[in-house]
Amino acid sequence: METIIKRNLPRDVFLHLFAMVALYWSAISFITLCWQYINYFFPDILQIRYGYQSYVWPIRFSVSSLIIIFPLFILASWYLNKIYKRELQARESKIRKWLIYLTLFIASLIIVGDLVSVIYNFLGGDVTAKFILKSFSVLLVAGAVFGYYLDDVRRAEPSSSAKYYAWSTGTIILIMVIGAFFIVGSPMQARLLQFDQQRVSDLQGIQSQIVNYWQRKGQMPASLSDLEDSISGYVVPADPQTDQSYEYYLKDSTALKFELCAVFNLSSKVQSTAKYPYPASGEYSQNWDHGQGRVCFERTIDEKLYPPTEKLPR
Nearest to 144 by CA among 3, 34, 285: 34
What 3-state DSSP class applies to 83? helix
61 and 106 belong to one structural domain: yes
C-alpha 111/C-alpha 135 separation (Å) is 9
C-alpha 237/C-alpha 241 separation (Å) is 12
Which contiguous run of DSSP H or E holds residue 191? helix 187-217
C-alpha 78/C-alpha 167 separation (Å) is 12
110 and 243 belong to one structural domain: no
Nearest to 36 by CA among 107, 126, 137: 137
204 and 269 belong to one structural domain: yes
CB 130 within 8 A of CB 38: yes
- Residue 311 within a domain: no
- Residue 211 within a domain: yes
209 and 170 belong to one structural domain: no
170 and 33 belong to one structural domain: yes
Which contiguous run of DSSP H or E holds residue 253? none
The last residue of a domain, from among 184, 207, 237: 184
pLDDT tens per residue, range 132-163: 888 889 999 999 888 888 887 777 666 677 77
The confidence score (pLDDT) of residue 172 equals 93
14 and 163 belong to one structural domain: yes
106 and 203 belong to one structural domain: no
- Residue 168 within a domain: yes
115 and 204 belong to one structural domain: no
239 and 103 belong to one structural domain: no
pLDDT tens per residue, range 157-199: 666 777 788 889 999 999 999 999 888 877 888 888 889 989 9
The last residue of a domain, from among 134, 153, 184: 184
What 3-state DSSP class applies to 230? coil
Cα torsion 187, 293, 244, 299: sign = negative
**Domain of 289, in residue numbers:** 188-300
CB 218 within 8 A of CB 253: no
Which contiguous run of DSSP H or E holds residue 66? helix 51-86
- Residue 221 within a domain: yes
Q: Does residue 283 register a pLDDT over 60?
A: no
- Residue 308 within a domain: no
Nearest to 250 by CA among 229, 277, 271, 221: 221
CB 215 within 8 A of CB 307: yes
CB 178 within 8 A of CB 186: no
- Residue 93 within a domain: yes
- Residue 179 within a domain: yes
Query: Please, which residues have CB within 8 angstroms of residue 214's CB and are 6 or more apart in sequence?
Result: 220, 256, 301, 306, 308
Nearest to 18 by CA among 74, 97, 91: 74
CB 7 within 8 A of CB 89: yes
176 and 205 belong to one structural domain: no
171 and 222 belong to one structural domain: no
* pLDDT interval class at 69 (50, 70, 90): very high
* pLDDT interval class at 50 (50, 70, 90): low
Domains of the chain: total = 2
30 and 179 belong to one structural domain: yes
The last residue of a domain, from among 184, 213, 248: 184
* pLDDT interval class at 312 (50, 70, 90): low
How far lies 231's CA from each of 2, 250, 267, in Å? 86, 25, 37
